[in-house]
A and B are shown apart, each in its own frame.
Chain A
Amino acid sequence: MTTAIHTEDLHVYFEKNHALKGVNMDIEMNKITAIIGPSGCGKSTFIRCINRMNDLIPGCTVKGKVMVDGEDVNDDDVDVVDVRKRIGMVFQKPNPFPKSIYENVAYGPRLHGVAETIDGKVRRRKHTKKELDEIVEHSIRRAALWDEVKDRLDKSGTSLSGGQQQRLCIARTLAVGPEIILFDEPCSALDPIATAKIEDLLVDLKKDYTVVIVTHSMQQASRISDRTAFFYLGDLIEMGDTKQIFEKPSKELTEQYITGRMG
């Protein structure tokens, strides 16, 4: 088991509100880790620490370490753009850009360019059309969307159904080539059939990516995740193999939540 993400004494404050209280957690590579807990327990806040999306919230302070690949994501000399290239995020409400399907997926790679080593120096250059086309097709295929959109890549991303839009957002994230993908309640705005498609997709994705998914559905967590972490009021209460958490939770709070007596 290799660790993809390691957090150490992670605290988050929104002005005076202490939203995350000293979280220590290890997230394993190529596994699906589910983060569950009642509303307001800090699940979204936690994963937004990993790709530094909390930077966007005024009045938010982050203390502690979030180690990815040996480096602290919050370090002063770490380029946040690079962090987000390697750690992607899919949001709760599908948010395709009002551009064509092709452009949605090509957006990320186009910005970052291609890294090449010439004479020992790393340079970036623009993609060729062929390279972009390949990336777009590969990403959409991987997101299990290709057959549905291959004939209308020039149509607007917003013309798709909710479930398709969310898969488009996943394709968009894949196109950038991350190692870790964070999902913030990706199915809460979708119907059960679309949800099932995405859950299948997630199980497929874990072969190549580390998946962290925040979900308010315990059924979803127990269906697809390998490891589960239970948060309550900003604290990480318990974390372990999904089977163990749902069958034999060791903390009482966990058991209360799982059996529905709380949250």
Chain B
Amino acid sequence: MMLSRKATEVAVFSLFRGCAVLVVLALLVLVGYIATGGLERLSIEFLTDMPRRANTQGGIFPAIVGTFYLMLIVLSISVPIGVMSAIYLVEYQQNSLMGRVFRLAVYNLAGVPSIVYGLLGLGIFVAYLGLGFSLISAGLTLSIMTLPLMISSAREAIAAVPSTVREASYALGATKWQTIWHHVLPYALPGIFTGIILSVSRAAGETAPLMLTGVAMSLQRLPDSFFDSFMALPYHVFYMATQSSNLLATRPIQYATALVLLLLVLGMNLFAIVLRKRYRDKYRW
């Protein structure tokens, strides 16, 4: 029985290691195929040209611009609201009933399927508020969608600041807000920043809400206002891969567009991870 205990352990541990290898493999295979498929079509022209001939030629510039505008909207709306909510939840409502209600709301918002957010956007922003199929409708929808993620990351960063820092500040006679502004937020800022990057990158990759709030298949011009129609990278990948006029011929464009989106999102994620590591190393509590 002694021998088989050891042998069981060895076998089981190899299995677990195999699982981990599988996961890394999946990532590498996915990124690898997209990269090799899309590299040939990737070029400066591809990134800066307008689409031509019903998307079968030319570039994807409007899609890139559209995605950036969307990220901008999400940045300006969900970041302030998210950070303010996080501050409120950690500093003012830690142990109250209302705090629990808020946290429950955030938790449930996080679990809502993306297509349901699309329905929300359609019903409220497009129809009820009359914003139409436009950048602002899509942007607002995405903002609400990323709000829970923003709040969670910011909460984690703020809660990680040890209570001793706050106590020291209060003991010196500072008010609550002074303590937060001068002692808590500065230390939480790197973590909040990481959360912002992750949230915005999530928003950049979403497709379903866009489909219901007015993303366009092909445009020959850039949006001139927030009420204008727009293209976006994730939708472009979807559209080109499933509905464009010549699926086989445009395959390279599909790959290239997917690659651009992947690079954008991966780039932001990696940046956030590196940032977080540097911040952790700097502030070992």
Contact = CB atoms under 8 A, between A and B. Distances in A.
Contacts of B1: 113, 123-125
B144 to A, nearest CB: 40
Interface residues of A, number: 8
Contacts, number: 11
A81 interface: yes
Main SS class of interface, B: helix
Contacts of A123: 1
Contacts of B112: none
Interface string B2-17: 1001100000000000
A79 interface: yes
Contacts of B2: 79, 81-82, 124
A123 B5 CA distance: 13
B145 to A, nearest CB: 38
Nearest to A124: B1
Interface in B1-56: 1-2, 5-6
Nearest to B4: A124
A201 to B, nearest CB: 31
B4 to A, nearest CB: 9
Interface string A74-98: 0000010110000000000000000
A111 B2 CA distance: 10
A116 to B, nearest CB: 11
Contacts of B6: 81
Nearest to A82: B2
A79 B6 CA distance: 10
A241 B58 CA distance: 92
Given A82-B2, A111-B5, A124-B2, 8 more contacts: A79-B2, A81-B2, A81-B5, A81-B6, A113-B1, A123-B1, A124-B1, A125-B1
Interface of A: 79, 81-82, 111, 113, 123-125
6 contacts: A79-B2, A82-B2, A111-B5, A113-B1, A123-B1, A124-B2
